[in-house]
C-alpha cells in the first residue's frame, strides 16, 4: 500500500499538471470571421466581427457567408500591402469558402475585399502576454502551480510514511 501511494501520488500530481501545461497552447486560437450576407454593398459591417482582436500566434479564419465571391486582402485604400491575401484573382473566396491567416507579429492589419474595396476590416494583434490584464495570463503561474502540486505530493508521501510508521504498519503483505 505504501509503495502504491508513493508511486501513485506523484502520478496523480503529474496528471493534474499536464492539463495546466497544455493550457499554454490555448492562447493560440482560431478566431472566426464571417463575410456577411450582402456585404458587397457594405463598408465596415461587411466583416463580423470588426475589428478582430487577436493575440500573436492566433489564426483568423474568414468564411464567406455571402452569395457572391470575395477576397480578403491586407492593405488599405484598395492597395494591397502583401501581408496576406486570400486570392490572386485566379481563385476567389467563393460562397462558404474559407481563408485562414496566422498572425506572427503584433500590430494593426487593415484589410479589404479586392473585388469590393468598400468592404473594410481590421485585425488588431497584441502580444500574448500584454500585461494589461485583458485576456492575458502571467506565464510564471504555470511553474508556480506545478511546484505547488509537486510539494503537496511530496508532503503527502512523507505524511503517509510517518503515519504508517506510527501506526505500526509494514510494507510486507
The model's pLDDT over 95-145, given as tens digits with 9 standing for 90+, comes to: 999 999 999 999 999 999 999 999 999 999 999 764 544 444 455 555 666
Q: What is the C-alpha separation between 158 and 160, in angstroms, rounded? A: 5
Residues 42 and 76 reside in one and the same domain: yes
Asked if pLDDT for residue 87 goes beyond 60, the answer is yes
Which burial class, exposed, middle or buried, applies to 113 when counting CB atoms under 10 A from its CB (0-12, 13-18, 19+)?
buried
Residue 172 domain-assigned (yes or no): no
Report pTM: 0.62
Domain extent at residue 88: 28-126
Residue 131 domain-assigned (yes or no): no
* Torsion over CA: 85, 90, 93, 97 (sign): negative
Grid cell listed for 95: 460562397
Nearest to 60, CA basis, from 51, 36, 91:
51
**Average pLDDT of the chain?**
81
Residues 161 and 147 reside in one and the same domain: yes
Residues 11 and 56 reside in one and the same domain: no
Q: What is the C-alpha separation between 72 and 171, in angstroms, rounded? A: 68
Residues 163 and 117 reside in one and the same domain: no
CATH of residue 67's domain is 2.60.40.420
How many structural domains does the chain have? Answer: 2
Amino acid at each position: 500500500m505504501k509503495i502504491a501511494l508513493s508511486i501513485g501520488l506523484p502520478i496523480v500530481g503529474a496528471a493534474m499538471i499536464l492539463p495546466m501545461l497544455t493550457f499554454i497552447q490555448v492562447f493560440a486560437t482560431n478566431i472566426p470571421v464571417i463575410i456577411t450576407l450582402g456585404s458587397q454593398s457594405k463598408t465596415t459591417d461587411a466583416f463580423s466581427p470588426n475589428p478582430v482582436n487577436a493575440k500573436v500566434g492566433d489564426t483568423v479564419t474568414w468564411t464567406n457567408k455571402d452569395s457572391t465571391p470575395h477576397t480578403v486582402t491586407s492593405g488599405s485604400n484598395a492597395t494591397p500591402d502583401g501581408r496576406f491575401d486570400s486570392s490572386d484573382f485566379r481563385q476567389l473566396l467563393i460562397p462558404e469558402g474559407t481563408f485562414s491567416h496566422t498572425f506572427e507579429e503584433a500590430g494593426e492589419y487593415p484589410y479589404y475585399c479586392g473585388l469590393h474595396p468598400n468592404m473594410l476590416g481590421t485585425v488588431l494583434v497584441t502580444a500574448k502576454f500584454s500585461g494589461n490584464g485583458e485576456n492575458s495570463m502571467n506565464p510564471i503561474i504555470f511553474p508556480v502551480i506545478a511546484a505547488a502540486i509537486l510539494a503537496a505530493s511530496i508532503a503527502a508521501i512523507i505524511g503517509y510514511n510517518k503515519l504508517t510508521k506510527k501506526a505500526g504498519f509494514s510494507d510486507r503483505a
